[in-house]
Amino acid sequence: MDTYYTEPIGKTERIPKLAADLFARMPEIEAARAELITESYRQTEGEPIVMRRAKAFAHILKNIPIIIRDGELIAGSTTIAPRGCQTYPEFSYEWLEAEFDTVEHRAADPFYISEDTKKRLKAANGYWKGKTTSELASAYMAPETHRAMAHNFFTPGNYFYNGVGHITVQYDKVLRIGFAGIRAEAEKELASCLFGDEDYARKSRFLEAVILSCDAVIGYARRYAALAKEMAQKESNDRRKSELLTISENCSKVPEHGAEGFWEACQSFWFVQQLLQLESSGHSISPGRFDQYMYPYYEKDLNSGKLTREAAQELIDCIWVKLNDLNKCRDEVSAEGFAGYSLFQNLIVGGQTVEGKDATNDLSFMCITASKHVFLPQPSLSIRVWNRSPQALLLHAADLTRTGIGLPAYYNDEVIIPALINRGLSLEDARDYNIIGCVEPQKSGKTEGWHDAAFFNMCRPLEMVFSNGYDNGEIASIQTGDVESFQTFEEFYDAYKKQMNYNISLLVNADNAIDVAHATLCPLPFESCMADDCMKRGKSLQEGGAVYNFTGPQGFGIANVADSLYTVKKLVYEEKKVSIGELKKALEMNFGQGFDAITARDIALRVARQLEAEGKTATADIIAMTVHNVLTMELPAQEKARYEQIRDLIDELPKFGNDIDEVDALARDAAYTYTKPLETFRNPRGGIFQAGLYPVSANVPLGAQTGATPDGRLAHTPVADGVSPSSGKDTNGPTAACNSVARLDHGIASNGTLFNMKMHPTAMAGEKGLESFVALVRGYFDQKGMHMQFNVVDRQTLLDAQKHPEKYSGLVVRVAGYSALFTTLSKSLQDDIIRRTEQAVNR
Amino acid sequence: MTYNDVTGRIFDIQRYSIHDGIGVRTIVFLKGCALRCRWCCNPESQEYEIQTMMVNGKPKVIGRDVTVKEVMDVIKRDMPYYGRSDGGLTLSGGESLLQPEFAAALLQAAKNIGINTAIESMGYAKFEVIDRILPWLDTYLMDIKHMNAAKHKEFTGKENTLMLENAKKIAESRMCELIIRVPVIPGFNDTQEEILEIASYADSLPGVSQIHLLPYHKYGEGKYEGLGRPYLMGNAPMLPEGSIEKWKEAVEKHTALSCQIGG
């Protein structure tokens, strides 16, 4: 018998006001954290790194300015400016200094930075030269790895420049015993350490660092307790005064002690969520199964009459707003790849309990309602779907989907649970999974998953097959032979696999170098005290303290590779309509469609290099002339016509995404060229590599680094996103696209797959539209699809939003593993979203 | 020869259709029609002959001959979605009953794999033809466009007598659910009186509990151009805002039917 409450609950006036205040102006970079960490580090030179980290964390929490914003019920802000961000020079800082003057005006995720802040940051940053994780990681990488990165085979930019994040900690434990309880556990563990133990040195220091971190957090909450009290004394409005007094009481009790009521639990949750991100610069710090661990507090207060459903909803709504208050400034290239100011704080509802029963409760519904009330990109709301998910919950979720907010994303327990068991999780742990960041499953509080370890462009090794390892005149990869010598499709495909294997090994080399750098320079004692088995092992997560350790880099461009391989197989080797040499030439000539500025730049660089090698100077005139010549180059009419004819022949071939068995089978196999070699590698924390198949939004900038491909895609245009079919190539409707995508092996891609589908609003109109939508999701999942997400918006609206961004400041779209405000995205990403097939229902 | 080998002529198969029956459906459009409704939004459905229509500036062949097995291979691909929504196959047209053997074979094939079946038709055939498909049919979506025989003939080319009789026989057979659908066309049947007349007839049929009002739209206009035919509804005004809702209210007030706007 279902016992949850499913009726809609209204929103209070407070919520839109909190949200509006947050988005009133451009987010701003602040200098306080950078200054404080630098001050602390200067005083702790020579001490064990884990202690230096803890002391710096304590110094920051003791001194960073604090604020309670108007109308807030949950306190805790990382910056004084709404949606502001701090900086993290211990990971990297040079890119920010280089972008001081452009960061405010760049296309993706601009931030305001004052002259005073620039000055203060510059002063602090001076200390960090030669001390950052990125510099150490770089020093650990093989020369071939640097070369592969320079040639854009993959980018490990995320953890190379930033903290790792990508974790769900034991929120439930903090709610239950507070940091006083965790501190006591650390003390007990410390007391059991014997001076003669072989790991005494590291373990004792780590546990001391944990104790220091717990004290720091308790002290930070007390600062808020004092501030709230002080504000209450000055407050003239009685209602607000009483709210502030409650905030003060809450902050003096949690997160030091266990929470009793729901409001306390919300406050305690929030400090953990906020401070994890202040300790390191990681993103995708994911609240996980909020509806599960918050439920006992909600139920208790509701039953005792202390709380109404409306009041509980308001508190949840307040947390939803606060999740948008946290922000992060990335380098310009990464900002394109993660566009939309997103922190990917993934929060998931529904699914199963550890015993395998349905986990749906009141809060599952209220979390979905909160996203509807707040209507902001964070949290990245997700829902777990399994064969016994209640229809009512799915319809409630579908009703949110059709608002066009791009939330929630749908996940399939029936694929993810076995996939995790295959990676060594226990059945109970696998059933308790949640999603990190975009689409990555993990068991909370036990995993250091390194889920977003890199983007690997599967199209680049394909280019290397045609060029025999050369890229723009330089050797960039291994040589697999002259493509024109391949007599069969199998020879061609073998060469591709070799190119893949080689570059995957370099990707692993890059990730492991970065991994070692984080363990050496940035262990995180606060984060680690909320994950098993760090305290028992006396190791931070970064050093291998977690029960489950993974590294999960993402491959993308499956659809392009599959369609390309099919082209080569059919047109070249089976039907012999085009020779491999002709195809090679057509790709080099961009199918006769002319060259863009990127090609002109590449060729000019090549000319300059050549001149230099000959001891000559590449003058500005020569460069300008080269660029001009490339941009205006006219092919002989006959040659151009043949390339266009080849592209037409390609266009007529069946494509992935149309429910055609032969093409889909090739796509499944093509995905294995990434997922299978990868899982044979190990990381320095004692875990294995596991593949993901999703691009965040990197398919656009990384597509710009990819030449024309045999699927007919022109040079430097976006590659396909995630496991979705190429834009505009799926023409048989949503069920056909779903069937094709479900034919990939999602179970092996245990770091997550991402299937983006754009639905026209008419496809979801009425009760019938919702029911059919739910059937679509369930039908895809019945065929072992893993994840699905939707943009529900018509093309006209998006085009108009490009023209009149001012009218659409609230327009949320689904980008990749997350939603973002459409108008904050760069023009090229906007275009890509518009291009993605609109799955309209005809008639 | 089994029902799988029966051949017929279709001009389209549309997957993930969320109209024209319950759940997620695949609609098979059979080519050829007995009527020539002026407002028809699928003019390429009318001729049985295979035609060429200009689509986006390119000639496109409309119509192909297929076996039941070939059609079923497409239909079966969406089994998971039918299963999750009680959906299935809908035959549309044209008038499917003009290819009686093919229509019956398709419905039988669908029923044999356990999916829901529906037909969208105006019932223009001898009742023996309809009687043959009824064992394989869950829902009959039947068009009744007008109660006045002369006006019906003027706008569609045929009188309505046969169709009205068939509606009654289908209802009396109790072999399937019968739903009456009214395309609401400006200048033809867009008065409350005319709509209520149809509704009263529908209400008098045993077992009929639903009526659908399908508001006129112009999405078919471009197809006439593509076929080189004049669009006779070119100057017709659209239905005034709110009128269809008003008629729905009137239908529900004057009859025991539940009335739905759209398919």
Q: Which tens digits make up the pLDDT trace of B96-117?
A: 999 999 999 999 999 999 999 9
Instruction: Return the sign of the alpha-carbon dihedral for residues A269, A274, A279, A284.
Output: positive
For residue A575, give the amino acid letter: E
B83 touching A (Cβ < 8 Å): yes
B246 touching A (Cβ < 8 Å): no
| Paired sense of beta strands B139-143 and B177-184, if any | parallel
**Nearest CA among A745, A828, A827, A757 for reference residue A793:** A757
Which residues of chain A lie closer than 8 angstroms to B83, CB-CB?
779, 782
Put simply, the answer to whether A778 touches B80 (Cβ < 8 Å) is yes
Secondary structure of residue A280 in the 3-state scheme: coil
- Which of A402, A652, A735, A792 is the best substitution to test chain B (most B C-beta atoms within 10 A)? A735
Q: Which residue has the tokens 């960061």?
A: A103
B77 touching A (Cβ < 8 Å): yes
What is the Cα–Cα distance from B71 to A188, expressed in whole angstroms?
A: 71
Active site residue A438: yes
Beta strands in B135-176 (DSSP E): 139-143
**Nearest CA among A448, A435, A437, A439 for reference residue A527:** A448
Which residues of chain A lie closer than 8 angstroms to B16, CB-CB?
733-735, 772, 776, 839, 841
Give the Cα-Cα-Cα angle A402, A403, A407 (nearest 5 degrees). 80
Residue-wise DSSP of B114-132: T-EEEEEE---S-HHHHHH
Interface residue ranges in chain A relative to chain B, Cβ cutoff 8 Å: 659, 732-736, 739, 763, 768-769, 771-772, 774-776, 778-780, 782-783, 839, 841-843
**Nearest CA among A21, A30, A34 for reference residue A60:** A34
Put simply, the answer to whether A779 touches B14 (Cβ < 8 Å) is no
Closest residue on chain B to A659 (Cα): B77
**How close A730 comes to chain B (CA, Å)?**
13
Query: What are the residues facing A787 on neighbouring strands?
Result: A411
> Peptide bond preceding A557: is omega within 30 degrees of 0, i.e. cis?
no
B7 touching A (Cβ < 8 Å): no
Beta strands in A63-219 (DSSP E): 154-155
User: Which class for B237: exposed (0-12), middle (13-18), buried (19 or more C-beta within 10 A)?
Assistant: exposed
**How close A778 comes to chain B (CA, Å)?**
7
Which residues of chain B lie closer than 8 angstroms to A769, CB-CB?
18
- What CATH number is associated with residue B200? 3.20.20.70
Backbone φ and ψ of A112, nearest 5°: -80, 140
Closest residue on chain A to B15 (Cα): A733
Helix (H) or strand (E) holding A345: none
What is the Cα–Cα distance from B30 to B12, expressed in whole angstroms?
A: 8
- For A377-394, b where at least 16 C-beta lie within 10 A, e where not — what string? bbbbbbbbbbeebbeebb
Which residues of chain A lie closer than 8 angstroms to B87, CB-CB?
772, 775
A24 Cβ contact partners less than 8 Å away, ≥ 6 residues apart: A82
Which residues of chain A lie closer than 8 angstroms to B17, CB-CB?
841-843
| CA A723 to chain centroid | 16
The edge-to-edge listing of strands for the beta sheet with A154-155 is: A154-155, A455-457, A554-556
- List chain A residues with pLDDT less than 70: 1-2, 807, 809-821, 824, 836-843
In this structure, are residues B34 and B23 in contact, taking their beta carbons and an 8 Å threshold? no
In this structure, are residues A546 and A534 in contact, taking their beta carbons and an 8 Å threshold? yes
| CA B242 to chain centroid | 25
The active-site residue, picked from A251, A266, A438, A534, is A438
Put simply, the answer to whether B81 touches A776 (Cβ < 8 Å) is yes
**Nearest CA among B172, B193, B257, B185 for reference residue B220:** B185
Which residues of chain A lie closer than 8 angstroms to B222, CB-CB?
none
Give the Cα-Cα-Cα angle A545, A547, A550 (nearest 5 degrees). 90
B215 touching A (Cβ < 8 Å): no
Number of structural domains chain B divides into:
1
In this structure, are residues A372 and A315 in contact, taking their beta carbons and an 8 Å threshold? no
CB atoms under 10 Å from CB of B74, counted, come to 16
Q: Which of B18, B41, B80 sits opposite A841 (nearest CB)?
A: B18
B210 touching A (Cβ < 8 Å): no
Helix (H) or strand (E) holding A351: none
Helix (H) or strand (E) holding B146: none
In this structure, are residues A772 and A401 in contact, taking their beta carbons and an 8 Å threshold? no
Put simply, the answer to whether A778 touches B17 (Cβ < 8 Å) is no
Closest residue on chain B to A732 (Cα): B15
Query: What are the residues facing B28 on neighbouring strands?
Result: B13, B91
- Which of B12, B18, B20 is the best substitution to test chain A (most A C-beta atoms within 10 A)? B18
- Which of B74, B84, B181, B212 is the best substitution to test chain A (most A C-beta atoms within 10 A)? B84
Active site residue A522: no
A822 Cβ contact partners less than 8 Å away, ≥ 6 residues apart: A798, A801, A808, A811, A812, A813, A830, A833
B78 touching A (Cβ < 8 Å): yes
For residue A248, give the amino acid letter: S
Single pTM value for the model? 0.93
Helices (H), B47-148: 68-76, 79-83, 100-112, 127-133
Closest residue on chain A to B261 (Cα): A766
Q: Which of A735, A769, A842 sits opposite B78 (nearest CB)?
A: A735
Which residues of chain B lie closer than 8 angstroms to A389, CB-CB?
none
Closest residue on chain A to B22 (Cα): A768
Residue A351: HSE in the Cβ half-sphere, 13 Å Cα cutoff: 31
Q: How many Å is the Cα radius of gyration of chain A?
A: 27
- Which of B81, B92, B219 is the best substitution to test chain A (most A C-beta atoms within 10 A)? B81
Put simply, the answer to whether B77 touches A739 (Cβ < 8 Å) is yes
Given 3-state DSSP classes, what are the helix, strand and coil percentages for chain B, each rounded to the nearest 5? Answer: 40, 25, 40
pLDDT, tens digit (0-9, with 9 covering 90-100), for A822-841: 776 777 778 877 776 454 43
Instruction: Give the mean model confidence (pLDDT) for residues B156-185.
Output: 96
What is the Cα–Cα distance from B204 to A173, expressed in whole angstroms?
A: 67
- For A630-653, b where at least 16 C-beta lie within 10 A, e where not — what string? beeeeeeeeebebbeebbebbeeb
Q: Which of A769, A779, A842 sits opposite B81 (nearest CB)?
A: A779
What is the Cα–Cα distance from A296 to A363, expressed in whole angstroms?
A: 10
In this structure, are residues A503 and A478 in contact, taking their beta carbons and an 8 Å threshold? no
B23 touching A (Cβ < 8 Å): yes
What is the Cα–Cα distance from A158 to A140, expressed in whole angstroms?
A: 17
Q: Which residue has the tokens 């078919």?
A: B220
Angstrom CA distances, A677 to A460, A501, A508, A682, stand at: 17, 7, 11, 11
Instruction: Return the sign of the alpha-carbon dihedral for residues A363, A368, A373, A375.
Output: positive
Query: What are the residues facing A792 on neighbouring strands?
Result: A759
**How close A31 comes to chain B (CA, Å)?**
54
The active-site residue, picked from A440, A527, A543, A838, is A440
Which residues of chain B lie closer than 8 angstroms to A780, CB-CB?
80
B19 touching A (Cβ < 8 Å): yes
Tokens of A619: 């003058």
How does residue B236 score in pLDDT terms, banded at 50, 70 and 90? confident
Q: Which of A775, A839, A843 sits opposite B81 (nearest CB)?
A: A775
Instruction: Return the sign of the alpha-carbon dihedral for residues A794, A798, A804, A805.
Output: positive
Put simply, the answer to whether A735 touches B15 (Cβ < 8 Å) is yes
How does residue B263 score in pLDDT terms, banded at 50, 70 and 90? confident
Which residues of chain A lie closer than 8 angstroms to B84, CB-CB?
774-775, 778-779, 782
Per-residue three-class SS string for A407-423: CCEEEEHHHHHHHHHHC
pLDDT, tens digit (0-9, with 9 covering 90-100), for B11-22: 999 898 888 889
Put simply, the answer to whether A771 touches B85 (Cβ < 8 Å) is yes
Tokens of B66: 């297929």
Q: Which domain holds residue B147?
A: 3-261
B41 touching A (Cβ < 8 Å): yes
Backbone φ and ψ of A454, nearest 5°: 180, 165
**How close A742 comes to chain B (CA, Å)?**
12
What is the Cα–Cα distance from A416 to A434, expressed in whole angstroms?
A: 10
| Paired sense of beta strands B88-92 and B25-30, if any | parallel
B222 touching A (Cβ < 8 Å): no
Tokens of A479: 């040589």
What is the Cα–Cα distance from A548 to A537, expressed in whole angstroms?
A: 13
pLDDT score for A4: 86
**Nearest CA among A493, A837, A539, A503 for reference residue A677:** A503
Tokens of A540: 């931070």
In this structure, are residues A791 and A766 in contact, taking their beta carbons and an 8 Å threshold? no
Put simply, the answer to whether A772 touches B83 (Cβ < 8 Å) is no
What is the Cα–Cα distance from A823 to A108, expressed in whole angstroms?
A: 10
pLDDT score for A840: 42
pLDDT score for A841: 39
pLDDT score for A256: 98
B260 touching A (Cβ < 8 Å): no
What is the Cα–Cα distance from A681 to A688, expressed in whole angstroms?
A: 6
Which residues of chain B lie closer than 8 angstroms to A776, CB-CB?
16, 24, 81
